[in-house]
């Protein structure tokens, strides 16, 4: 059979495999699912398209899905986040993967398209940020005769061109694919926002499981994950001394909390901006000064966006920054920083994913990963252990959609609390946690079952 993968260098597979072996020892949730379901193979017959950062941790996820019976094809959801040795190991293992660190936008959307091309068609999506879902739904709308309108960004232009190409090559493909998809599980806050928006507009054609809002995902990966990987990204990119520097973190949601803690842990003096009074109060009571970006823009050394919003750091901000200020984003998309409006400035590439850009004043800024999520672009994303919790939720969500999908409406669901608690439980042993057991009397007194769930739905952790 012709080669059915696109990776940087298949010879990296042996190195990737060694790192995979190490990651497995740090991903007890995924390994426990292999143990529990490896024989019964509940995902048999499923054909899963994955659109999620092609890292070592994701490779362990992919091999878990395969061990549970799934047929899998994979693309990365970001042009800079692939770890080429991880992709090579997966390709060599026989799972088609289309991902290269530093791929162009055209390649990115072409690779996503290729990850859908199962001979018998895909029937499940595992998404991160919603691009795989967007591709199918937008294409189906175009096939129904809807004008996609004028592209408002370079990326939108590329998406429209890719859709046109697929429509010409395989007429009716998008509609057929959409109708065959049994459901999507979504990894991140930004993708989840898109799904709820589709429901509001009556445009979600299949059930969705919001993995992000499992407690064992957003309160761990978004928070403790960023706590480790933000500073890792800044260091690998710049080698800057963090201690004593002034850093501004925009947004104090889960990612902002982890990011501010990360910088503080490295000795930076951290300030926070927020629009939500609750998160602003949390930041203040966690000991961070809550400020306006405008007041800090010419004083701080490091600026990090974590909002999932757009146009947070604007061109006028960057023009007012100190010489050699570091600017980066850890939210899902690059539009948190107005990178497009820097295009006509003088760029000097320092190394991969690190650019120095000269402002009209002569001051320069260091921009990380062209404004794309820097913990994956400049470093290797979150560590395995925390990704194990996220991905254990992903696998449970895929099993649920595949085996019970017809019991769900075309809405967005969160996994039940007993599964959330199960995911946490699977990670306790690895770090030596001893859990106290409730006796019957105590359980009755606080109104829960002795074996859980331990909290009501409205509890916020
Ligand atoms: P969140 O909703 O918990 O937090 C975002 C915060 O930003 C909110 O508190 C909001 O009030 C605030 N905000 C919005 N607009 C703002 C503005 N103009 N100025 C200041 N603050 C503003 O979302 P979460 O879970 O923290 O995710 C944030 C982003 O990070 C999303 O795009 C998500 O997909 C992404 N993400 C990235 C990860 C990574 O590894 N790089 C991991 C997990 C999530």
pLDDT tens digit sequence for 241-287: 999 999 999 999 999 999 999 999 999 999 999 999 999 999 999 99
Q: Measuring CA to CA, how many Å separate 360 from each of 179, 311, 313, 367?
A: 52, 20, 17, 16
Return d(Cα 163, Cα 137) in angstroms, integer. Answer: 10
CA 123, 129, 132 angle in degrees (round to 5)?
30
Atom of ligand 1 nearest to the CA of 333: 32
Domain residue extents for the chain:
10-216+382-420, 226-378
**Is there a shared CATH topology between the 10-216+382-420 domain and the 226-378 domain?**
yes
pLDDT bin (cut points 50, 70, 90) of residue 1 is low
Mutate to test the pocket of ligand 1, among 128, 188, 215 (most ligand atoms within 8 A of CB): 188
Ligand 1 atom closest to the CA of 189, numbered from 1 = 34
Residue 86 to residues 16, 66, 180, Cα–Cα distance (Å): 5, 16, 29
The tally of CA atoms less than 13 A away on the side-chain side of residue 430 is 20
**Would you say 55 and 77 are in contact if contact means Cβ atoms under 8 Å apart?**
no
Give domain 226-378's CATH number out of 3.40.1160.10, 3.40.50.720, 3.60.9.10, 3.20.20.70.
3.40.50.720
| pLDDT band at residue 2 using 50, 70 and 90 as cut-offs | confident
Phi-psi region of 184 (alpha: psi -120 to 50; beta: other; left: phi over 0): beta
| CB distance 40 to 65 below 8 Å | no
Measured from the Cα of 311, ligand 1's closest atom is 18
- Candidates 250, 388, 442, 221; CA nearest to 327 is 250
Residue 133 to residue 51: CA distance in whole angstroms: 9
Q: Which CATH number fits domain 10-216+382-420: 3.30.800.10, 3.30.930.10, 1.10.3720.10, 3.40.50.1480?
A: 3.40.50.1480
Task: Quote the CA–CA distance of 395 and 126 in Å, as a whole number.
Answer: 9
Task: Find the 207 Cα to ligand 1 centroid distance in Å.
Answer: 24
Residues with catalytic roles: 53, 76, 81, 128, 187, 212, 217, 221-222, 226, 332, 382, 390, 394
CA gap 368, 311 in Å, rounded: 16
Q: What is the DSSP letter of 292?
A: -
Which residue's CA is minimally distant from atom 31 of ligand 1?
308
Name the closest-CA residue to atom 8, ligand 1. 253
Q: In the predicted model, is pLDDT for residue 390 greater than 80?
A: yes
Distance (angstroms) between ligand 1 centre and the Cα of 430 equals 29
For the chain, the average pLDDT equals: 98
The single residue listed with the structure tokens 């105590």 is 442
Nearest-angstrom CA–CA distance, 133 and 143: 15
Pocket of ligand 1 (CB under 6 A): 188-190, 218, 221-222, 225-226, 250-256, 273-276, 279, 306-309, 312, 330-332, 373, 375, 382
User: What is the structure's pLDDT at 352?
Assistant: 98
Total Cβ atoms within 10 A of residue 436: 6
Tokens of 331: 């939210």
Token representation of residue 23: 């990651």
- Each residue's pLDDT tens digit, 300-344: 999 999 999 999 999 999 999 999 999 999 999 999 999 999 999
How is residue 425 written in tokens? 């439980």
ipTM above 0.95, yes or no: yes
Distance CA 124, CA 385 (A): 26
| Number of CB atoms found within 10 A of residue 457's CB | 8
């Amino acid at each position: 059979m012709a080669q059915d993968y696109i990776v940087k260098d298949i010879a990296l597979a042996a190195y990737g495999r060694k790192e995979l072996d190490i990651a497995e020892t740090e991903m007890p949730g995924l390994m426990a699912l292999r143990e529990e379901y490896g024989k019964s193979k509940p995902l048999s017959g499923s054909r899963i398209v994955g659109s999620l950062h092609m890292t070592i941790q994701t490779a362990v996820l992919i091999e878990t899905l395969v061990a549970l019976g799934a047929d899998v094809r994979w693309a990365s959801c970001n042009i800079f986040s692939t770890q080429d040795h991880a992709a090579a190991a997966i390709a060599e293992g026989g799972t088609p993967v289309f991902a290269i660190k530093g791929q162009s936008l055209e390649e990115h959307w072409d690779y996503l398209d290729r990850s859908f091309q199962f001979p018998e068609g895909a029937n499940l999506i595992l998404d991160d940020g919603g691009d795989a879902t967007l591709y199918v739904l937008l294409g189906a709308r175009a096939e129904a005769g809807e004008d996609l309108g004028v592209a408002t960004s370079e990326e939108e232009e590329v998406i429209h061109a890719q859709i046109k190409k697929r429509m010409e090559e395989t007429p009716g493909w998008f509609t057929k694919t959409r109708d065959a998809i049994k459901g999507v599980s979504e990894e991140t806050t930004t993708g989840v926002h898109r799904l709820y928006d589709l429901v509001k507009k009556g445009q979600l054609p299949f059930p969705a499981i919001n993995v992000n809002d499992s407690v064992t995902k957003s309160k761990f990966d978004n928070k403790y994950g960023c706590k480790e990987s933000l500073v890792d990204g800044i260091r690998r990119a710049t080698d800057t001394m963090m201690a004593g520097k002034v850093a501004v973190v925009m947004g104090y949601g889960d990612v902002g909390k982890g990011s501010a803690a990360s910088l503080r842990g490295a000795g930076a003096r951290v300030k926070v901006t927020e629009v939500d009074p609750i998160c602003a109060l949390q930041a203040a009571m966690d000991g961070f000064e809550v400020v306006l970006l405008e007041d800090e823009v010419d004083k701080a050394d490091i600026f990090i966006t974590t909002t999932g919003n757009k146009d947070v750091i604007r061109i006028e901000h960057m023009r007012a920054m100190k010489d050699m200020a570091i600017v980066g984003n850890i939210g899902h998309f690059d539009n948190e920083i107005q990178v497009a409006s820097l295009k006509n400035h003088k760029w000097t590439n320092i190394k991969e994913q690190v650019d120095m850009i000269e402002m009209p004043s002569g001051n320069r800024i260091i921009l990380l990963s062209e404004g794309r999520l820097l913990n994956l672009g400049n470093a290797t994303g979150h560590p395995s252990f925390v990704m194990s919790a996220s991905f254990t939720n992903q696998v449970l969500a895929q099993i649920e959609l595949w085996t019970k999908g017809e019991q769900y409406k075309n809405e967005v669901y969160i996994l039940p609390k007993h599964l959330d608690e199960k995911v946490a439980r699977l990670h306790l042993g690895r770090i030596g946690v001893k859990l106290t057991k409730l006796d019957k009397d105590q359980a009755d007194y606080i109104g829960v079952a002795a074996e859980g769930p331990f909290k009501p739905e409205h509890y916020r952790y």
